[in-house]
Amino acid sequence: MSELLLRHQFSVLLVISIVAIVAIGFSILTLAYLVRVRRDTQRLAERVDAQQAKLQILAEGERGVGRRVVMLSQRLQKSEQTQQSAHYPASDAQFDLAEAEKLVNAGATVADLVRTCQLSPADAELLIALRRTERRI
């Protein structure tokens, strides 16, 4: 009986040992998997941080470009306003044109129109050319 008991205890110990070895093996595999997952997670976090830094740099550059575009747009508007006011004074523009038409009909030259009506030479030439064309038609 004692031999039977010993065999039974040996079998139980053998099964317990096998279960323990299998559990230790699974634990080692799980630990190795977790280490790999942690390493991959850390790499991904580093890549995300690098991409966020690049995105931040791009966003700052975009804001700078946006400010420059607004500034240049404002400068362009001011230049256009200055140019328009220099060529065509708002209050006298209609009077000068009407006066210039009368002078052209009376036979005025480009120099006469520039001096009298303060038109640019190109505008004076255009007005005279338009009158000539109208007379032909």
For 57-110, write each residue's pLDDT tens digit.
Answer: 998 888 888 888 888 888 888 888 877 766 555 455 555 677 888 888 899 898
Site of tokens 């966020």: 52
pTM for the model stands at 0.41
Nearest-angstrom CA–CA distance, 133 and 122: 16
pLDDT at 135 over 90: no
Share of the chain above pLDDT 70, in %: 90
| pLDDT at res. 130 | 87
Nearest-angstrom CA–CA distance, 37 and 135: 91
Nearest-angstrom CA–CA distance, 131 and 108: 11
| pLDDT at res. 35 | 97
